[in-house]
């Protein structure tokens, strides 16, 4: 416990005096350094958390949450009636896919085609967002849905015809030729992911199977979950139901990307924590100088009976107070900046006429931010812990002063 006397002396030592000008500068730098370190760490972690969350939302917006792929036998309809499957799933959709080439006059473009029935196509999240243009339930035979990005590249509009060439062949009198089919653009989608928009298109499931010579037994089952975030636990449930099929999730398809993001976030946390550590070393300098300046006062306190442990508490408390108040200041500054980070980005972009956070690189049109209370708590605890550790040495040094030697030349 800290006594009333110890508190009084602590706050008295914290008050500025005219001859303590340099000491006050060091204390201010310590405060600002720790505060800015905490603020920058909170902002960076918030932006990275927001980027990850936004990326996940976009990925699960156009990909199946879990895909079940049969090896040889067709997926049994009995398994679709499993109660556990019905509990965790939002919708079950059969699909198929193939790689082909879009031909528009003199322009050719490799494309990944995904086939759905008209009814199932209308259930997709990418179809039901506000950026979708055209008919949502008319993906019938001889129709195709492409992205807005692809329509710009190929100069296409709804109602235009394009030719799709498949990798499967058809036997003719002059040999084996690739299958071709004319399709009409019925709708335009926008996933927000340029790579996806440039390389994926949707056609009717039966048209795709005819074009690529695919069998119904090879159809994949796409499972859309009520809670796609908790993917690993739900994948285990699905694996028990479909024990003879190959199963993969949206997380498996993007494992390298999210692993890289996780490593980058951890490295940034370590690097930016060094800012706080460097700033905290100013506390050692400040307290050491304070001990030197307060030699006479410490000697008087000891001579009137103040114990060494009280001297330790006093100087330890000074360091902790500087570190704690700086951490609180950093939290307020960091949270405020995180809440308005997109406004700051736009302001800096307009002032300096530069493009910060370009969409073609980061896939997102705005800088995301997600304030995570747990991250803030960890950052705060680290900052306070560092302040506590650096306050120990000066506090013990103050307690070791000999009052006789300190007062000898006074």
Read off the tokens for 8: 């009084």
Distance CA 21, CA 10 (A): 18
At residue 50, does pLDDT exceed 70? yes
User: What confidence category does residue 202 fall into, taking pLDDT thresholds of 50, 70 and 90?
Assistant: very high
Domain boundary among 227, 242, 271: 227
Tally of structural domains, the chain: 2
Range of weakest confidence among 137-151, 165-179, 273-287, 333-347: 165-179
- Are 158 and 199 in a shared domain? yes
Domain shared by 50 and 196, yes or no: no
216 and 302 belong to one structural domain: no
Pairing of strands 66-69, 161-172: unpaired
Q: Is residue 246 part of a domain?
A: no
Distance in angstroms (rounded) separating the CA atoms of residues 40 and 336:
11
What gap in Å lies between CA 82 and CA 14, rounded to an integer? 69
Would you say residue 131 has pLDDT above 90? no
- The sign of the dihedral angle between the CA atoms of 232, 115, 107, 190 is negative
Whether residues 270 and 400 share a domain: the answer is: yes
Could you give the count of Cα atoms lying within 13 Å of 324 in the half-sphere of its Cβ? 8
293 and 164 in a common domain? no
pLDDT above 90 coverage of the chain, percent: 5
Please report the pLDDT score of residue 239 as a whole number.
87
Same domain for 220 and 81, yes or no, is: yes
pLDDT at 198: 86
Q: Please tell me whether residue 244 adopts helix, strand or coil conformation.
A: coil
What is the pLDDT, as a whole number, of residue 405? 60
Both 386 and 310 in a single domain?
yes
Please indicate, yes or no, if residue 251 is contained in any of the structural domains.
no
254-290 residue pLDDT tens: 777 777 777 877 888 888 788 778 777 777 777 777 6
Per the prediction, the chain carries an average pLDDT of: 80
Q: Is residue 252 part of a domain?
A: no
d(CA 303, CA 31): 33
Is residue 78 located within the same domain as residue 135?
A: yes
Determine, yes or no, domain membership for 247: no
pLDDT at residue 335 is higher than 60: yes
Looking at the domain assignment, is residue 250 inside a domain? Answer: no
Q: Which helix (H) or strand (E) holds 393?
A: helix 373-399
> Which of the two residues, 149 and 17, has the higher pLDDT score?
149
Residue 200 lies in a domain: yes
What integer is the mean pLDDT of 331-356? 80
Same domain? 30 vs 173: no
61 is a domain residue: no
- Which residue in this structure is represented by tokens 């849905």? 145
Q: Are residues 50 and 70 located together in one domain of the fold?
A: no
Share of the chain above pLDDT 70, in %: 85
Q: Region 35-44: what's the mean pLDDT?
A: 86
Query: Hey, what are 193's tokens?
Result: 């992911």
Residues 174 and 301 grouped into a single domain = no
264 and 397 together in one domain: yes
Q: Is residue 159 part of a domain?
A: yes
Lowest mean pLDDT among 20-24, 108-112, 128-132: 20-24
Inform me whether the pLDDT recorded for 169 exceeds 70.
Answer: no
pLDDT of residue 407: 58
Higher model confidence: residue 140 or residue 28?
A: 140
Domain final residue pick, 206, 227, 248: 227
Q: Which of 17-26, 36-45, 164-173, 334-343 has the lowest mean pLDDT?
A: 17-26
**Model pLDDT for residues 55-73, shown as the tens digit of each residue:** 777 777 778 888 888 887 7
Q: Are 118 and 141 in contact (CB under 8 A)?
A: no
Give the C-alpha distances (Å, rounded to integers) separating 49 from 43, 275, 335. Answer: 10, 20, 13
* Domain extent at residue 39: 4-56+257-408
pLDDT digits (tens, 9 = 90+) for 302-315: 777 777 788 778 77
**Distance between CA atoms of 139 and 126, rounded to whole angstroms?**
14
């Amino acid at each position: 416990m800290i006594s009333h006397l110890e508190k009084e002396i602590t706050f008295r030592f914290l008050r500025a005096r005219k001859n303590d000008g340099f000491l006050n500068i060091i204390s201010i730098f310590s405060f600002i350094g720790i505060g800015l370190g905490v603020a920058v760490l909170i902002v960076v972690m918030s932006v990275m958390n927001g980027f990850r969350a936004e990326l996940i939302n976009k990925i699960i917006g156009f990909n199946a949450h879990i895909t079940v792929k049969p090896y040889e036998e067709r997926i049994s309809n009995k398994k679709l009636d499993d109660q556990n499957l019905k509990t965790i799933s939002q919708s079950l959709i059969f699909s198929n896919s193939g790689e082909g080439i879009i031909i528009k006059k003199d322009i050719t473009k490799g494309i990944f085609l995904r086939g759905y029935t008209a009814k199932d196509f209308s259930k997709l999240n990418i179809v039901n967002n506000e950026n979708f243009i055209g008919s949502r339930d008319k993906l019938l035979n001889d129709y195709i849905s492409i992205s807005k990005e692809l329509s710009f590249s190929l100069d296409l509009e709804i109602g235009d015809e394009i030719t799709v060439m498949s990798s499967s062949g058809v036997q003719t009198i002059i040999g084996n030729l690739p299958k071709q089919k004319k399709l009409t653009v019925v709708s335009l989608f926008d996933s927000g992911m340029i790579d996806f928009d440039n390389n994926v298109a949707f056609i009717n499931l039966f048209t795709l199977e005819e074009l690529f010579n695919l069998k119904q037994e090879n159809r994949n089952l796409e499972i859309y979950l009520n809670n796609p975030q908790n993917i690993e636990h739900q994948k285990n449930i699905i694996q028990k139901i479909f024990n003879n099929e190959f199963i993969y999730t949206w997380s498996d398809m993007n494992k390298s990307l999210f692993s890289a993001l996780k490593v980058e976030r951890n490295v940034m946390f370590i690097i930016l924590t060094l800012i706080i550590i460097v700033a905290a070393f100013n506390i050692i300098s400040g307290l050491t100088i304070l001990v030197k300046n307060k030699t006479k006062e410490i000697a008087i306190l000891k001579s009137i009976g103040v114990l060494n442990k009280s001297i330790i508490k006093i100087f330890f408390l000074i360091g902790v107070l500087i570190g704690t108040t700086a951490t609180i200041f950093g939290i307020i500054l960091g949270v405020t900046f995180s809440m308005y980070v997109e406004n700051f980005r736009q302001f800096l972009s307009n002032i300096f006429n530069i493009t910060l956070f370009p969409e073609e690189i980061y896939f997102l049109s705005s800088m995301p931010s997600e304030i995570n209370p747990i991250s803030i708590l960890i950052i705060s605890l680290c900052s306070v812990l560092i302040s506590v550790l650096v306050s120990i040495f000066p506090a013990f040094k103050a307690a070791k002063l000999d009052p006789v030697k300190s007062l000898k030349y006074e």
